[in-house]
């Protein structure tokens, strides 16, 4: 799956993974289809690191990313369970616990 990222999506990716040097391609040269999955699987060294990266986002950026999940443009089910938990914690603190409930309902997470 190849997706053209918007400028805002590229900006968010670069904020989460500045070490990527602005590239949204894997080391093999394939474009990443999502934002959070490569952050979780390739860049973050731990769930704590993943959480610290997410905390870099402001409320508007985090809400934008959350909306991408609801639109099916961002896939989070394949993240490590600990990373999903961290994502939910950051959303609860920066946006609202209600938004987490909506997201859990959407994703089918108890």
For 72-108, how does the pLDDT look when each residue is reduced to its tens digit (9 = 90+)?
999 999 999 999 999 999 999 999 999 999 999 999 9
Instruction: Tell me, yes or no, whether 51 lies in a domain.
Output: yes
Instruction: Tell me, yes or no, whether 70 lies in a domain.
Output: yes
Would you say residue 1 has pLDDT above 70? Answer: no
Instruction: Tell me, yes or no, whether 1 lies in a domain.
Output: no
Instruction: Tell me, yes or no, whether 2 lies in a domain.
Output: no
Task: Print the domain residue range for 70.
Answer: 7-107
Instruction: Tell me, yes or no, whether 76 lies in a domain.
Output: yes
CA 4 to chain centre: 16
Number of domains in the chain: 1
Instruction: Tell me, yes or no, whether 11 lies in a domain.
Output: yes
Give 3-32 pLDDT, tens digit per residue: 789 999 999 999 999 999 988 988 888 889
Question: What is the pTM for the complete model shown?
Answer: 0.91
């Amino acid at each position: 799956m190849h997706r053209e990222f918007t400028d805002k999506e590229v900006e968010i990716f670069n904020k989460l993974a500045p070490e990527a040097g602005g590239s949204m391609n894997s080391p093999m040269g394939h474009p990443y289809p999502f934002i959070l999955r490569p952050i979780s699987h390739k860049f973050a060294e731990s769930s704590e690191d993943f959480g610290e990266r997410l905390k870099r986002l402001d409320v508007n950026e985090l809400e934008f990313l959350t909306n991408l999940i609801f639109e099916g443009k961002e896939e989070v089910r394949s993240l490590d369970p600990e990373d999903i938990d961290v994502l939910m914690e950051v959303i609860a603190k920066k946006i609202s616990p209600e938004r987490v409930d909506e997201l859990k309902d959407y994703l089918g997470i108890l």
